[in-house]
Every structure is written in structure tokens, then in C-alpha cells.
Amino acid sequence: MAAGSERPTEAEPDRPIVQEGEASEGMSQLLSGILFMAIGTFALYLGRGYPVGSAGDMGPGYLPRLVAIGLVLVGLACALRGWLSGERGLPRFPLRAGFWIGGAVLAFALLIERAGLFVACLVAVLIAGGAEMQRRWRELPLVALVLAGFCALLFGYALRLPMQVWPL
């Protein structure tokens, strides 16, 4: 075998080689599990004052508490699986994608009341398109129009949510 070969040794034939600074699946699962447990615990804290009731006579806190407990349990399973995998490389955060997605959320929040749901969705999808490494500039406007139209039909007309759909 030549020096510098990328093949794993015979002792570990199927174990992937994780380079320093590279994301490992085990660490991603561990961090995801911790995040799920934190969100579930926070939801349990927020809903602590709602009456739960019973399965036969559900109170307003029954389903939220059930979902929060489920989230904590799923998080525990993910975190345990990630911990037991033994892989410890920290995942990289895609700064460029985070910038574009954050900008899209901010644009949506600023436009939803002023320009309406359709325009806010359209602009948010166009901005979020910058997060993709291999952008498809020809398809992006069509995808934005379809998604904005779907959101307007669903939330504005089918569900009749009390929000402005079109600009005034």
C-alpha cells in the first residue's frame, strides 16, 4: 500500500476517518439531542401553569406537555446515540448560509405587515436562495412565485388567517 493512502486499516474497515475540524455524525447527533432536550424542557417550563386534565378530559396543557415530553425523550435518544458513537469532531457552522437565511427571516418579518404575505414570501425565498452553494438563478424566481402563491392561497384564503395577503 502506498504512503498517504486514504484507505482505512484492516482493524477498522468501515469506520470513516474524521479529519480535525470536520463534522462528525456523532457530534451532530449529540448537539441536536441537547438542543431538542433544551427546547422540550423550556416548553415544559412555559406550560407549567396550564391545567393538564386527563386523556378523557384534556385541558389546554395536555397536548403541549405531551409534545414537550416527547421532544425531551427524542433528544435524549439522539444525544445518547451521538455520545455512544465516540466521534467527537465539531461540526462546522455554514456562516454564508446562516447569513442568507437570517436575512430572509428578517426581510419576511419586516415586510409581512407592510407589503402583505405574498410579497414577504416572495422576497424571503429570493433572499434565502443565496444560501445555496450552487445557485440556480433561472429556477429561483419560479420557485419563489410558486411558494409565495401557495402560502397566499393556503394561509390567506383556505385557512383565512387574519393577515394582509396583498399589498394595499
Taking only the tens place, the pLDDT of each residue in 56-75 is: 888 888 888 999 999 999 99
Mention every residue, 6+ apart, whose C-beta is less than 8 A from residue 59. Answer: 50, 51, 52, 53
**pLDDT, tens digit, 9 for 90 and up, residues 112-161:** 999 999 999 999 999 999 888 777 778 899 999 999 999 999 998 888 88
**pLDDT, tens digit, 9 for 90 and up, residues 18-53:** 444 455 677 888 888 999 999 999 999 998 888 888
- The reported pTM is 0.54
Phi then psi dihedrals of residue 56, to 5 deg: -80, -25
CA 12 vs. chain centroid, Å, equals 33
